[in-house]
Each structure stands twice: as structure tokens, then as C-alpha cells.
Amino acid sequence: MRTDTVPGAGLLGEDGFVDAWDGRRLRTMSAGEGDDLVVLEAGLGTSGLYWGPVHARLARHARVVAYERAGYGGSSPVRDAPRDLRHLARDLRTVVDAFPHRRLVLVGHSWGGPIVRTLAARLLAEGSAPAGLVLVDQSDEHAAELYTSRLARWSGEAQGAIMVPLAQTGLLGRLSRVPLRGLPEPILDATVAASTTVDAAHAIAAEHRVVPPEITTLAEHPLALADMPMRVLSGQRPGRFDRALRAGLVRAHHETVAAHPGARFVPAERSAHLIPVTEPELIAREALDLLA
């Protein structure tokens, strides 16, 4: 696929592709200069294009890269690629290694939080720890019941089962636009287009399937992150779709901070879950603070 044919071509700086470990191609979007690198990992179900407002703020001060996981936008379809955290982190490392740097900050939103933590633990074990992590309303194993209860599993399975039909009928695009409507145009249109194809629906379903077992594994076998600098951003405003879950997730974020000596809790007072859309300046500030 040519870079000028992908959704949102050029909106987040320079488009490119990197080759994953199994031959898949991952679309990257980079801007900024310097030897400090910030890499943005998206949440489940969304193209990396939604990082646009954060990406633009970071690019004024550092090299910044967003990308699309397998199946989304311009990246290769999932096919049979494993979607567990170990393999998702392996894909992320492919992106990180494609951009030479001196210091690295990893930013992960929602399910992207466990992905960046998994890679950070691996890099730390190898002696090349990141300068820090920004966890943006991350999926948190300290609230494992939110992801592993019978109701949560049923809900995840149901969502996974209907994703492809919704994409085929065009309804997925209309539904996805609602929570993302705070994004500026043309980023909104491009994000929806890249996140709601049939290939994206297959990716979403595959990622949904691994969440409960992976959250359980994280709870039973915590990642070793030592005193790595970490900012834990937590949405404080209950959203339309997570009102009943918000208090439990905020408590879990506090527990994550308590468990890591290098961590600091950062409340996102104006946000529910989609902090990249509602408070992009907060994310950029915390990422740059780790490079100060």
C-alpha cells in the first residue's frame, strides 16, 4: 500500500511503514526532530490517528511517532498473528527500533497501557529502560474483575462477535464517531475510516479475546518495572458508557501508583476515558516532563 492512499495520509506528519517480525507492515506517522523519542500506543479499537492533537503538541519539542496496529488503517491485516501482550509488545518494539533515539518515552492509552508496560519491562531487563511511561486511563489489572467477570467476558465476546457485521453494514463507522466527536476534522473522519474497516473489525475482535486472560496474567505475575518514572493519568469524569465502572478504575489507578515507587497519579479532571481527545495537552505535558 502506498503511503498516499492510507486514511489520513500526511495528517500526522510523515507516513511510513516498518516491517514486523512476521512480514506484516505497520504504518507509522512521525513528526518533530531531535534524539528524544515519544511513541504513542493506541487503545483497543482505534487507529493511532486519534493521537493527532497529542502528536502535534509533542512534535514541537521531540520526535514523536504514532502507529497503527495490525488490521487498522494502512497496516497489514491481522491474519493469524497472535494478539497477546507479548506479541503486541514485539510489534511496538519494531516501531521503536525503526527510529534511532537517545531517550524514549512510551505513552499508552487504555489497552495500550499494558502493551507499553510489557515492552518497558523487557527493555529494562535488557538494560535499556525507557526514560519513562505515561499510562493514559490504562486497562488496569488492579481492577481485574472489570475485565474477567462473567458479565465482562460475555460483553467482550458479544462485542467481538458483532464487529465484522457492523463493519460490513457501515454501522461501526457511525457508532465509532460518537465517542471521538471531540477530535478536529479532518482527523475525526480519518480516524473513523481507519478504525472501522472489516480488517479493523477482525483486529478488534482478536484483541478483545485476549483481554481477560492477559489481565489475569498481569494480576498474578506483575511486570517488573523497578522505579521506572511513570505518570498514571486517570479520567475523573464518568462517561456515558462507563459510569458504573469509573470509580473502580480510578481506584485501580491509585493502586498502580502505590505499587510503583517511580509513579505519580495525575487526575484528568475534564475527562472520562478518552483523555487523548478531551485533554491532549495534559498527556503532552506529562510526556515532556519525563524528558525535562
d(CA 119, CA 93): 7
Q: How many domains does the chain have?
A: 1
Sign (positive or negative) of CA dihedral 66, 124, 136, 46: positive
Which domain CATH number covers 56?
3.40.50.1820
> Which segments of 54-131 are extended strands (E)?
63-67, 103-109
Q: What is the mean pLDDT of residues 79-94?
A: 94
Instruction: Give the pLDDT score at 152.
Output: 87
pTM for this entry:
0.97
In which domain, by residue range, is 168 found? 3-289
Point out which residues pair with 66 in neighbouring strands: 29, 40
Contact partners, residue 34, CB within 8 Å, separation at least 6:
61, 62, 63
Average of pLDDT values for 210-237? 98
Given a contact cutoff of 8 angstroms between Cβ atoms, the answer to whether 40 and 107 are in contact is yes
- Terminal Cα distance for the chain, rounded: 38
pLDDT averaged over every residue in the chain: 96
On the question of pLDDT at 241 being above 80, the answer is no
187-195 vs 52-59: helix crossing angle, rounded to 10:
120
User: What b/e string do you get for 148-179 counting C-beta neighbours within 10 Å, with b at 16 or more?
Assistant: beeebeeebeeebeebbebbeeeebbeebbeb
Identify the pLDDT of residue 23. 92
For the segment 157-180, the average pLDDT, to the nearest whole number, is 93
Residue 240 has pLDDT above 80, yes or no: no
Q: How confident is the model over 48-85, as pLDDT tens digits?
A: 999 999 999 999 999 999 999 999 999 999 988 899 99
Region 231-256 average pLDDT = 91
pLDDT of 165 reads 95
